[in-house]
Structure 1
Amino acid sequence: MRLFGFNISRAKAVEKALSPVAQSGRGWWSILESYPGAWQQNVEVKFDSVLSNHADFACRTLIASDIAKLRIKLVAKDSDGIWSETSNSAYSPVLRKPNDWQTRIQFMESWVLSKLQRGNTYVLKQRDGRGVVVKLYVLNPDLVTPLVSETGAVFYQLNADALSGVEQSVIVPAREIIHDRFNCFFHPLVGLSPIFAGGLAAMQGLAIQNDSTLFFQNGAQPGGVLTAPGSIEDDTAKRLKEYWDTNFAGKNSGKVAVLGDGLKYEAMKAKAVDAQLIEQLKWTAQTVCSTYHVPPYKIGVGELPSYDNIQALNVEYYSQCLQVLIESIELCLDEGLATGENLGTELDTDNLLRMDSVTQMEVLEKSKSVMTLDERRRKLDLKGVSGGNTIYLQQQDHSIEAIAARDAQLIAQSQSASAAPVDTRNNSDDAEALAQSEQRAFVAEAMLAFQKGLAA
């Protein structure tokens, strides 16, 4: 039996020689315990709860959507080492439509979200009879376990996943899986999610929001105690508490309470202002952003930088956050599809790094001597024009070689003119010739002096 080009019976034969890699930092225990003993102290980092934190959610979805919107190009290298877009029947179809139930954007979002949430992305290849990859499936990380044989060969154990076409548990070699991972702190085959570092801050932010919700459900009034000048029985204290909670707490906050027998209400819990709730919530969001390397202003946290340069802000975001993810995807696709040395994949970052319209037009105007008119028009999604496939240069610009040849000719002419005798008899033509000869001699002497100065 063959699944995705791999013999299942052969896989079962080698299963006994395989062992799972160390899962430190990947399992649920590392997610539940933010530090040793945290579980006993009821300080838990719950994976599902962290995913619902607004800052964590915003960072993950921002990164995934920004990368997913980049078109995947197949590029080829020519004899001059220049990469340009091309098409190929073996690679272009799967890059354009990875599988039957996902678009390219949905597929890439799944890829990036899996990597950000679990530290690992496992992509299963489906091949045709030629061995060419025709389908790609992003697998559920919970259903995949990396294995290492006694000889160091890498395999992956896949549990049943009907959506991806895996009908039963099977072990496949590494060549059938694209494994994109980062933050491999504990094992080279086990990536680590940013949640490992930012989970506690996310839980703190959720706790602040939950506490604030309860606070405002109580009419923005803090909790407190009823005190009496003397001792009271437990039954009386219980009765007073129940009466107070029923009539003056929650939706009944703000009603007038009449206290007798010297009873007095005293607030115990700090108000939101005293606890600096907004500052604490902002700090947790900024901490989460730092673990994803996302500038806080990108998700509405913190102030926007003062300088008004959209491209500079996008380049900062690209270089510190997206670039390593994008280039990792490109390398994984190149190796996974076996494109070779002269073919490769490239994510089109032009839209991501697009400048504001004024700056863009200025840059295109200054690139006349580098790009053809049609190349500049394509940057604006415009068609080519007649004569647009030529690089234009202003006429007064000359090459260094032409300038050097002109100077050499002037020197030679001046030297020959100064060596020839000049008839100075009364003749206007002779006088003009003498003036020109003297001018050429002066130019020659100046050029020689200039060249000696350069040599010195």
Structure 2
Amino acid sequence: MRFFGLTITREKAAPTASPVDTRGGWWGIVREAFTGAWQKSVEVRLDTVLTYSAVFRCVSLISSDIAKMRLRLVQQDADGIWTETSSPSFSPVLRKPNRFQNRIQFITSWVESKLVHGNTYVLKERDSRRVVVALSVLDPTRVKPLVAPDGEVFYQLSRDDLAGVSDLDAAVLVPASEIIHDRWNTLHHPLVGTSPIYACGLAAVQGIRIQTNSAHFFGNGSQPSGILVAPGPVSEENAKRLKAHWEQNFTGQNVGRVAVLGDGLRYEPMAVKASDAQLIEQLKWSAETVCSVFGVPAYKIGVGAPPAYTNIEALDAQYYAQCLQIHIESIELCLDEGLTLPAPYGTEFELDALLRMDTATQIRTYAEGVKGGLMKPDEGRAKLGLPPVTGGNAVYLQQQNYSLAALAKRDAQADPFNPAPAASPPELAPPDATEEVSRFATALRLKFAEAPAHA
């Protein structure tokens, strides 16, 4: 059958290709947090961990910050400078990757899949020219890499209707040339990435359980659980009856009702003090642990005190270097290789949308750049969203500034600071007498020619 311009055969598996080690990848259960955790029903499930606010915010923050940057097609000139360009073969797929996603949604799905599952699989769709015209992010739980004995890599795709992998009664084997595979933290196999949740899942579960216990506490009217104490022995039947009566009438929505106790019964609250539990400190620690694993500064998700806002650009540069840069560079490289861009072309995110200075710093920086001859006035105005002006497409410098070539020529003299006086012009020789007579005769003839004739 024909599938995205490829001839695909239906088969369950290639007999010569074997699946790779999947530890840490794809599956919805992150392995045991400690020995015996499974027997104690302590498992770190991916769908549960994503409900923790710190994990959710780290994933959404990183993906949205990368997706909001414009993806450009650039070309390198003879001077090694990358400038934006366009191409009918490559620009359309960068502007609209597929039929159901725009650029921002596509990049968001790419980064979210990589952060949550450790792997991003993008299926290419080609036209008759073998040019990539569409890119679709696949469900990572439906993709499995296979390696042949000769080292060739294939990907086994299960049904994915949205990506166009449909109407198939068996798995499809696709060569690696038709898949863009972005991965990180390849701890167990070069073809299998590992999500940061593998390292911070237990901290996330701890935070969820702290919040769950708090919700139960406040759901009980901010009253701790307790015990009914009798002065003497109580039969099991009476104990169950008293417990059921108390829970039905004096807990949950009924907290605050007046209870009448007889036969020497008394109620004693039983709970750990907040100071002993260190509730806030534990919540803060679990959130900071998640942030440290994802590489996100804690203040970015509202954990801890924010730093002084004296230099926002420096804070954003730190966030870019320690968290975003590896993902941005990886996406750019994967697209360059996946789209098979020729040598002068490349893809590049526009970092101005992320590393944006405040207005005062912008104006001061661009003014210094124009004054120092580093940029044209129109280039600085374009950075501020202003139109060009007459005479702005030129580099300006003050008159007293000299070029390096002129200074080098001056320093090459024997005494650069006492140059030799300029040579005087040669004296002109006195005119020849013959030339004088000739000029006089010519002037006289012209004079008589101008005089009026007499009758």
Select which of 383, 386, 389 maps to 2:390.
386
Give the Å deviation of 1:372.
0.7
Q: Structure 2: how far apart are the matches of 1:13 and 1:276?
A: 54
The one of 257, 260, 285 equivalent to 1:258 is 260
Q: Distance in 2 between matches of 1:61 and 1:412?
A: 68
Residues 1:36 and 2:35 aligned together = yes
- The 5-angstrom pairing of residues 251-290 of structure 1 reads 251-290=253-292
SS in 2 for 1:126: strand
Query: What is the RMSD computed on CA atoms of the aligned residues?
Result: 2.0
Give the superposition deviation at 1:406.
5.7
Q: How many Å separate the matches in 2 of 1:321 and 1:269?
A: 41
**Equivalent residue for 1:47?**
46
The structure with the larger Rg is 2
> Which residue in the other structure is 2:124 paired with?
125
CA drift at 1:282 = 1.3
- Residue aligning to 1:440: none
Say whether 1:370 aligns with 2:374: yes
Match of 2:418 among 411, 415, 423: 411
Q: Deviations over 1:29-78 (max 9, x none)?
A: 85152233211012111111111111100000011111111111000011
**Counterparts of 2:419 and 2:217 in 1: how far apart (Å)?**
95
By percentage of residues, which structure has more helix? 1
Q: Does residue 5 in structure 1 map to residue 5 in structure 2?
A: yes
Q: Name the structure 1 match of 2:229.
A: 227
Could you give the per-residue CA deviations for residues 361-403 of structure 1, whole angstroms, max 9, x where no partner exists? 1111111110111111111122211111111112222235545
Instruction: Tell me, in whole angstroms, the C-alpha distance in 1 between the residues paired with 2:29 and 2:188.
Output: 12
1:423 equivalent in structure 2: none
**In structure 1, C-alpha distance between the alignment counterparts of 2:200 and 2:338, rounded to whole Å:** 31
Q: What residue number does 1:236 align with?
A: 238
Indicate if the aligned counterparts of 1:6 and 1:172 stay in contact, CA closer than 8 A: no
Q: Is there any run of 5+ residues in structure 1 with no aligned partner, and where?
A: 417-456
Q: Is the 8 A contact 1:218 1:249 kept in 2?
A: yes
Displacement of 1:131 in angstroms is 0.2
User: What amino acid does structure 2 have at the position aligned with 1:361?
Assistant: I
Compared with structure 1, are the counterparts of its residues 382 and 301 closer, same or farther at alpha carbon in structure 2 (3 Å cutoff)? same
SS where residue 212 of structure 2 aligns? Answer: helix
Instruction: Tell me which stretches of 4 or more aligned residues in structure 1 moved more than 4 Å.
Output: 11-14, 403-410
Amino acid at match of 1:233: S
For normalisation by structure 2, the TM-score amounts to 0.87
Q: Which residue, out of 183, 208, 220, partners 1:181?
A: 183
State the shift of 1:140 in Å.
0.4
Note if contact 2:29-2:43 (Cα within 8 Å) is conserved in structure 1. no
Kindly, what percent of the aligned residue pairs are identical?
Answer: 57
Give the structure 2 partner of residue 71 of structure 1.
70
Q: Is the 8 A contact 2:312 2:357 kept in 1?
A: yes
The offset of 1:410, in angstroms, is 5.0
Is the 8 Å Cα contact of residues 196 and 293 (structure 2) preserved in structure 1? yes
Per-residue Cα deviation, 1:312-366 (whole angstroms, up to 9, x for no partner): 1111111110000000000000000000221000011111000111111111111
Report how many aligned residue pairs link the two structures: 415
Q: Does 1:23 align with 2:16?
A: no
Per the alignment, do residues 116 and 412 of structure 1 end up closer, same or farther by CA in structure 2, a change over 3 Å counting? closer
Comparing 113-122 and 25-34, the one that deviates more: 25-34
Cα contact 2:25–2:119 (8 A) shared by 1: no
Unpaired stretches in structure 2, ≥5 consecutive residues: 424-455
Contact 2:96 2:102 in 1 (8 A): yes
Instruction: Name 1:143's counterpart in structure 2.
Output: 142
Name the TM-score, length of structure 1 as normaliser. 0.87
Contact 1:60 1:116 in 2 (8 A): yes
- How far the C-alpha of 1:113 sits from its partner, in A, is 0.5
The yes-or-no answer on 1:395 pairing with 2:394 is no
